[in-house]
Chains A and B, each alone.
Chain A
Amino acid sequence: MEPTVFTDVDPKMRIAQEEIFGPVVSIIPCDDMEDAFEIANGIEYGLSSALYTKDVNKAFAAIRDLYAGITYINAPTIGAEVHLPFGGTKATGNGHREGGIGAIDFYTEWKSVYVDYSDKLQKAQIDRAE
């Protein structure tokens, strides 16, 4: 399988919508940044995303508006590091994250602990200390 590039792809085409999991890239034209964000978000998945620009304002707009678990600025969509959360929105997952503290959250249960050392019954929400 050779690297394969499709150009002038319509964002609604199957090749621009479905995951292929191979060396196949679809190139899609856009008018401006807002149009690009709409195309970028117009899929069922939301794992990674990237924006190439020299304008810091546009970079922060992408961080805010690309609906994905990961956004790279001036770097491609790959290259996660293990100590930040990894995962995505929509059909990419179910809200959990691997990596970093996200994994620690997943693999533990919280137990809340109360130690009353007043030697009397204190009723929460009823006995209000002044």
Chain B
Amino acid sequence: MATDTLASPATLSHTPTKVLKNFIDGEWVDSSTGETFEDRNPADTRDVVGIFQKSAKADVDAAVDAAKRAFAKWRLVPAPRRAEVVFRTAEILIERKEDYAREMTREMGKVLAETRGDVQEAIDAAYYNAGEGRRLFGPTVPSEMPNKFAMAVRQPIGVCGMITPWNFPMAISSWKLLPAIVCGNTCVIKPAQDTPLSTFNLVRALTDAGLPKGVINIVAGFGPEVGTPLAEHADVRAISLTGSSAVGRIIGGIAAKTFKHCSLELGGKNPMIVLDDANLDLAIEGGLWGGFGTTGQRCTATSRIIVQKGVYREFIERYVARAEKLKVGNGLDETVEMGPAINEKQLQTDLT
């Protein structure tokens, strides 16, 4: 479904640069601005992984219109049938897991073991949500009146907008898109500008599994030009953001003014407590994985370790010795344990 390829300037992987247009109503379309942006490999910035559309409000409007039209039909497809598309998506993702993981390491930087885990999470989400298509339970309750029946049923909301982060490029897109479509909604997603390719790969698998046109639409670009008009659009009835608390405050404010469903998954400063009676070997291994896995770029990353005084000095000595030995480098190298920071801006934040 990629519309074109170009020769990459990169020498590292010798993999061609993908050129991806927006995906609206089942068609690949240029942005209204005519501008594009590059998705570069953070481990080798000569490697341009993809070129994407730098979209604007007009593109959001077109995508929401397509999603609104698709909703009229998709909502009437029985939920178990909708779920079968998601089940087939899981099976397709299994076949493509290695290719999609490698592309994700190129665009995001985390090591291959972790990008394989990211695709696996989308597979797990697909199987789980496929099962929900045969449940979607609601309560039936006895009425207070004779000869009266009372129950509650779940109904789809309509067009849902999704704004995703770069740290779990496929997993978090799957957490949002898959339950939304099983429930009968249609979607417009703005993937993170640092890692859009993995969302395109997920939607490619969904489309190959038989998802009808317009049910999921992708508009690439940046927050102010795409995310804000998506959140503001009157026909978008739910907005789901995973990102920073600062952006969450903006999106939450917009959603409140227009009475949208709004789900915000934001920052963390996650503590790991080690008491005197802990298994110290286990705690040290856990603290290394929690602190430095995904280069610390998880919203759940272990960024504080609170250690009881009886084991405090021993913990520090052994933890620091192990941290010093972690191998840092390009995530495509299977011996590397920790990849690079996502981009220059994040690196500067880390260093200051």
Contacts and interface: CB of A to CB of B under 8 A. Distances in A.
A104 B303 contact: no
A117 B148 contact: yes
Interface string A44-67: 111111111111001000100010
B86 interface: no
A25 B291 CA distance: 6
Interface of A, helix, strand, loop or mixed by DSSP: loop
Interface string B164-181: 000000000001100110
Contact of B301 (A77, A108, A122): A77
A51 B82 CA distance: 41
A114 B149 contact: yes
A38 to B, nearest CB: 10
A3 B291 CA distance: 8
B94 interface: no
B262 A50 contact: no
B179 A103 contact: yes
Nearest to B150: A114
B contact residues, range: 35 or more
Contact of A1 (B154, B295, B299, B307): B295
B266 A92 contact: yes
A20 to B, nearest CB: 6
Contact of B148 (A39, A49, A100, A114): A114
A82 B296 CA distance: 20
B175 A86 contact: yes
Given A19-B268, A91-B267, A93-B264, A111 B152 contact: yes
Interface string A11-41: 0000011111111111111111100110110
A124 B147 contact: no
B270 A47 contact: yes
Contacts of B144: 124-125, 128-129
Nearest to B298: A78
15 contacts: A22-B341, A30-B309, A36-B308, A43-B269, A52-B274, A77-B272, A79-B300, A82-B124, A93-B263, A94-B262, A98-B242, A103-B129, A103-B176, A117-B149, A118-B145
Interface of B: 121, 124-125, 128-129, 132, 136, 138, 143-157, 160, 175-176, 179-180, 182-183, 185, 238, 240, 242, 244-245, 248, 252, 261-275, 277-279, 282-283, 286-287, 289-309, 312, 315-316, 319-320, 323-324, 326, 328, 338, 340-341, 346-347, 349-351
